[in-house]
Structure 1
Amino acid sequence: MPMPCSPQPHSAVVLLDTREHTPEHEHATHLQLAEHLAKLLGINCTQPDQPPTAADRYYYLPTETLIDPQRYRGMGINSEQDLFGGMVSHPYIATKAISHPLPANGSFPPGWTDAFAQQASDALLKGYTVFSKDDARRAAQLLLPEGAVRIKPVLATAGRGQEVIEQIDQLEPLLAEMDDQTLSLCGLVLEENLTDVQTFSVGQVRVAGLTCSYHGTQRLTHDHQGIEVYGGSDLLVVRGDYQALLQLPLEDPVRLAVNQAMAYEQAAEQHFPGFLASRRNYDIARGLDQHNHMRSGVLEQSWRLGGASSAEVLALRAFADDPTLQRVQASSHEVFGTTTLPADATLFYQGNDSELGQFSKYARIREHGHSE
């Protein structure tokens, strides 16, 4: 897909932190990502003293998917060439809420459409998105006869806050903890529960006239409390779009995951006016349903920087540095405790974080493939 032309070059990369609180290690990582993006774009990295305007022509690195297009267009974000991340028109579009339709006659926020889930249905697991507690009860009653149901708060990340229920009375304590106003705005997902799950990552990034696409998997590690958390991603990255990725000799489950991510993305582009994203990442789960049938579907999208972005940006820089390079193995790593960095590691953070303790984040590029 050709990218629209920007009216003039960007003058600098700016970190746009839209969150109420950003942990130290994340802020440090974001600054490092901004520096790498600046090198890709051939410009400086800065933090303006005054609120930016469209006249400043900055390239932005937002910490979240941007929600208010009118506001951010006033800052000069008019196309995917103006940011590393994405922008949508309503809060729910930035979450996993879009991955399922409503139950019949369910309530919904402004801008909601079931047309997305209808078009992307072959790429989705069975489930419903609800915006009220009554609709949550109805959705659970529809799904439970088929087996266990996973309850997924849409604002949580990395699987946090999710619960699996097997009976309807298990839902009530979960609903009691939920704020009605937040639920009405952001939603809640109820989805068929899979076992023996493998999660694939499929994505694409577009920066400085370069496009690269990838598939990969996530790794888990243990934090200082022994809790299993995200530990990084291993990616096979190719120069070009998803079709370049599909030219590789992929295993059938991976090929299906790529095609499902493409279907999900195409539905988003068609049914969400104003949607734009230069960074696109999709989690696709493959596992067994209640009847031991293999199921595969997109769990959620990420149209913002994420855990794999350090690897993505290093891959982009490798492609920019070597025009003959066609594919790389890239990985991101998050390590708790003291560690010795590999010789080829690019460090993004290392220190004693006030929330996580001793912690390191780095990325690697390990294998290269060149054109003949």
Structure 2
Amino acid sequence: MKASSEDQDLVVLVHCGGEKAARGQHEIDTQRALAAQLAALLDAPFCGEFDAARGHTHRYLVPDDTLSHDDATRMGIAHEHDFFGGVVPYPFVATKVIAHGLPPGARAKPPGWSDQLASRTSDLVLPGFSVFSRDDAHAAATLLWKNGAVRLKRPSGIGGSGQAVIADKNELDAQLDDVGDETLAAEGIVLERDLEDVATFSVGHVRVRAHEASYFGVQHLTRNNHGHNVYGGSDLVVVRGGFDALEGIDMPDDARIAIRRARAFDAAVHDAFPDFFASRRNYDVACGTDDEGRHLCGVLEQSWRIGGASGAEIAALRAFANDPALRVVRASTVEAYGAAVGVPANACIDYRGVDPRTGPITKFHTVDTTVKGASE
């Protein structure tokens, strides 16, 4: 098929300006490495940083964060085919707070808040509340403490950062003091049932123009250079096509539950915020046991931006593009800390270096096309 003039003129660009840009040079360098891989998938040149004055008429953008409608309009993004990420009508929609409703009698909520979404997702998430004031935080925590431990989560933390298990009012007040009343009112926090023996599934869908894949998998934790448990990578089973194709393969029961809850959550967001659109969708779904011994499974959060699993996502798309008969692959990402990190011979390194804040870190991904039943 002959390429259109638009495809022939297409360039791939990155845009740094979201909250992730302030978190470390390794994030920025990884973003550029993945953008270059997307450029290879699209058979287009990677031309660095987006600049409206440069006059690229046909461009595919890779932002570092979820975009607002205003930012998307400024960058010429009108459709999911224009970029790798998501566009939301209000800032809070891109954060963890949309996973929960407000506590009964809540006094504070941000402009654009959707009570409809909370009513649709209450059975899809863990017990919990989102709050935007101290009084609402105390009311929510008091309700949740009746049935066990409570986890406080800041709305934009990634890789497990910005979280704490709180046991009483004093610990809650200390966390709220650290957040600050102004930030609490603007961004909110999540108070949620804490689980033991947790397995966190990743469920996702990516579409890069004509290339489409869906997946489920599990996340791993690792120790960073400061001794903290952080995101260490994902192991994914990736299927060519959409969620229907994904549900057509064999998988563990908990994985199937996770996929169905993620799909229902995704549909609820679309209904509550019709102006939302995304080409990259990733949902974290946790299954574990609460203090009363109940097995719970619920959506924790969404990610509509380039993320920790994106190296595996892009590798799978490239494998499918290279072999039209290929139907299923296994793809993994690894984030390892320290100076002596072994990298498999078949891995693609997305970042290796010493970040000024994080210290030595290596990121790579692999893809396995020899899965049983992989080809049609």
TM range, smaller chain: over 0.9
**Distance (Å, rounded) in 1 between the aligned partners of 2:48 and 2:241:** 32
Gapped runs of 5+ residues in structure 2? none
Structure 1 residue 140, shift from structure 2 partner: 1.2
Structure 1 residue 254, shift from structure 2 partner: 0.7
**Distance (Å, rounded) in 2 between the aligned partners of 1:255 and 1:50:** 43
Q: Name 1:18's counterpart in structure 2.
A: 17
RMSD of the alignment, in Å? 1.9
Q: Name 2:104's counterpart in structure 1.
A: 104
Q: Name 1:3's counterpart in structure 2.
A: none
Identity %: 43
Q: Give the residue type in structure 2 aligned to 1:111.
A: G
Q: Give the residue type in structure 1 aligned to 2:249.
A: L
Matched, 1:371 2:375: yes
Decide whether the 8 Å contact of 1:220 with 1:228 is kept in 2.
Answer: yes
TM-score, length-normalised on structure 1? Answer: 0.93
Decide whether the 8 Å contact of 1:345 with 1:364 is kept in 2.
Answer: yes
Decide whether the 8 Å contact of 2:15 with 2:50 is kept in 1.
Answer: no
Q: Give the residue type in structure 2 aligned to 1:368.
A: T
Alignment of 1:1-372 (within 5 A): 8-9=6-7, 11-19=10-18, 21-47=22-48, 50-51=51-52, 56-67=57-68, 69-106=69-106, 107-336=108-337, 337-369=339-371, 370-372=374-376
Decide whether the 8 Å contact of 1:54 with 1:74 is kept in 2.
Answer: no
1:116-148 CA distances to partner (integer Å, 9 max, x unpaired)? 121122211111101111111111122111222
**Distance (Å, rounded) in 2 between the aligned partners of 1:29 and 1:71:** 22
**Distance (Å, rounded) in 1 between the aligned partners of 2:230 and 2:50:** 37
1:225-251 CA distances to partner (integer Å, 9 max, x unpaired)? 332221111000000111111111111
The SS at the match of 1:244 is helix
TM-score, length-normalised on structure 2? Answer: 0.92
The 1:293–1:50 alpha-carbon spacing in structure 2 relative to 1, beyond 3 Å, is: closer
Decide whether the 8 Å contact of 2:32 with 2:48 is kept in 1.
Answer: no
Gapped runs of 5+ residues in structure 1? 1-5
Decide whether the 8 Å contact of 2:247 with 2:256 is kept in 1.
Answer: yes
1:327-367 CA distances to partner (integer Å, 9 max, x unpaired)? 10100111222223211111111122222222211110123
**Distance (Å, rounded) in 2 between the aligned partners of 1:196 and 1:26:** 30
**Distance (Å, rounded) in 2 between the aligned partners of 1:126 and 1:143:** 8
Structure 1 residue 30, shift from structure 2 partner: 1.0
The 1:134–1:53 alpha-carbon spacing in structure 2 relative to 1, beyond 3 Å, is: farther
User: Alignment length, in residue pairs?
Assistant: 366
**Distance (Å, rounded) in 2 between the aligned partners of 1:38 and 1:184:** 40
Decide whether the 8 Å contact of 1:86 with 1:278 is kept in 2.
Answer: yes
The 1:49–1:303 alpha-carbon spacing in structure 2 relative to 1, beyond 3 Å, is: closer
1:19-56 CA distances to partner (integer Å, 9 max, x unpaired)? 35252222221111111111111211113684259972
